[in-house]
Amino acid sequence: MKSRVYPFASFGLLLGLLVGCSGQPPQPTAEPEPPADVVEPLATPDDDPATTDLEESLQVPDTTIVEEEITPEDALEAESNMVVEPPTLTPPEATDPPESAVIEQELAPQVTEPRQPVDLTESEAPYWPRFHGPTGDNLSPDTGLMKQWPDDGPPLEWTAEGIGNGYSSVSLAHGLIYTAGNLDGMTVISAIDLDGQIRWQVENGQAWEASYAGTRGTPTIDGDRLYHQSPLGNLICIVATTGEPVWAMNTLEAFDAENITWALAESLLIDGDHVITSPGGNLASMAALNKHTGEIVWITEPTGDQAGYASPVLVEHEGLRIIVTMNAKAVIGVDADSGRLLFRDPWETEHYVNAFMPLFHDGRVFVSTGYGGIGSRLLQLEVSGPTVSVRHVWESDELDNQHGGVILVDGYLYGSAHQFSGARWVCLDWETGELQWGERGVGRGSLTYADGMLYLFSERSRVGLARATPDEFELISEFRLPPGGQGASWAHPVVIGGRLYLRYDDRLLAYRVRAEENGG
């Protein structure tokens, strides 16, 4: 049986030691040893030849695969009626911005002299201010897009090179496109104009150059400020239009936390005047910083879990504002106004890889992860006054999403499986978890949604267009990125402003997907 339904079971769990009530906070779980390096080619269908560089660059752990041999890639208990006051901490002073924060232009091969931002009104400028968009649901507001592409793909408008290697996606505001990458041993944020020219680049500390070198988190734009956390925990605030530094700090150092095996991957959440980060470790499961100064506003008691690879989402349910995320071993919910831990629902996978940004709809939270875990689970949030418990509605081992994301459209979930279901693209019913279809498509990867269509981006640089319907999977169009780049194409695609943005390694490619007036 592939779907398991729990209509009555309650899973409220007792909170752990309260911070301030015990002599020592619980110590974080020891960082798992990295798996032994094994170089194996990914299984590839006959009609999908392997990318030469990918097979040489990916090092993967040995895991059990279902249905067909597909080598996985590694990236990458709360019910209480007490209001827990966070411990008294002396907020670390916002550190000085990195020296020479604005990188000299010669670091990027296609850089123009800095100039004024594109003169667009707010209604004209494409707006995708953070990872998975303004509300975190990864649903683009674009309409009037092509329903089928030419045989060689939609028109490629430009390619921006020199952004550094990494897996960060893009955000857009102020007529600029933002991403991050490794350049000359540093984490670097790039601002690119709508013509594909790099306007400026700003350093955010040392680069992550260990396993799967490159950036992970996507810059977050809030008004005229940009926020970004590097894989090594450097969190900076800069002026979004010019790159001028405002404040900086290191979250791992501030909260006495150790980095995780494949480095921090969180894309930051802005909630009102707060920047939300989830460092894990000895002092805080989650923390809110003053977005203007970097000072600590509140912290969430440590649960003993390290950070996960997920990004948080803000939800509102029955009068409570709740921030939900996944750490290394659980799904947690935190009171957005006080930092009080509301629930912790255990969720463990091989290598402690929880990389899913939770989906919320109608009082329920959906999560899905790969690496030999549960697969997918739908949680019902049950609020009683100031307390929250969770009830498991259903589980499914048809969909175990690695880190490519899942989208909810009109009552159905769409995403790519990791090891289960032969690593197919899968559609599940939101209410029941029942499988609607599962097809190979372009191969395992990430996706986004716009104008009734699913935009699929495989880890082997294949791109597909399919209708978002539970009736059947139909791959209408597909193409492959031009040659160039190394490793897996793991950055999530973005459709906004009539364009499809695809980031791969050191390049950002912009494709025109808006339909012509005479059809398309």
Of the candidate ranges 280-284, 358-362, 474-478, the one whose mean pLDDT is the lowest? 280-284
| Local confidence band at 119 (pLDDT 50, 70, 90 cut-offs) | low
Task: Tell me the C-alpha distance between 86 and 298, whole Å.
Answer: 7
Q: Which of 488, 383, 511, 519 lies closest to 167, judged by CA? A: 488
Burial class (CB in 10 A: 0-12, 13-18, 19+), 518: exposed
Give residue limits of the domains in the chain.
Answer: 3-24+71-512
How would CATH label the architecture of 3-24+71-512? Answer: 7 Propeller (2.130)
β-partners of residue 316 are: 321
Tokens standing for residue 380: 């019902």
Cβ-based neighbour number of residue 6 at 10 Å? 15
| Local confidence band at 224 (pLDDT 50, 70, 90 cut-offs) | very high
pLDDT (0 to 100) of residue 518? 53
Q: Which residue has the higher pLDDT, 321 or 41?
A: 321
Query: Using one digit for the tens of pLDDT, what is the confidence trace for 418-441?
Result: 999 889 999 999 999 999 999 999
Residue pair 245/238 in contact by the 8 Å Cβ criterion: yes
With pLDDT > 90 as the criterion, what percentage of the chain qualifies?
Answer: 74
| Local confidence band at 281 (pLDDT 50, 70, 90 cut-offs) | confident
Of the candidate ranges 59-73, 114-128, 138-152, 286-300, the one whose mean pLDDT is the lowest? 59-73
| Averaged confidence pLDDT in the chain | 82
- DSSP category for residue 148: S
Give 335-371 as a DSSP string.
Answer: ETTT--EEEEEE---GGG------EEETTEEEEE--S
Query: Using one digit for the tens of pLDDT, what is the confidence trace for 13-54?
Result: 222 322 333 333 333 333 333 333 322 222 333 344 333 333
pTM attached to this predicted model = 0.80
Of the candidate ranges 48-52, 162-166, 446-450, 485-489, the one whose mean pLDDT is the lowest? 48-52
Task: Tell me the C-alpha distance between 28 and 281, whole Å.
Answer: 5
pLDDT (0 to 100) of residue 336? 98
Query: Using one digit for the tens of pLDDT, what is the confidence trace for 465-497?
Result: 999 999 999 999 999 999 999 999 999 999 999
Give strand ranges (E) for 52-106.
none
Query: Using one digit for the tens of pLDDT, what is the confidence trace for 91-108?
Result: 444 444 333 333 333 333
Work out the average pLDDT over 231-245. Answer: 98
Residue pair 498/194 in contact by the 8 Å Cβ criterion: no
247 pLDDT exceeds 60? yes
316 pLDDT exceeds 60? yes
Tokens standing for residue 339: 């930092």
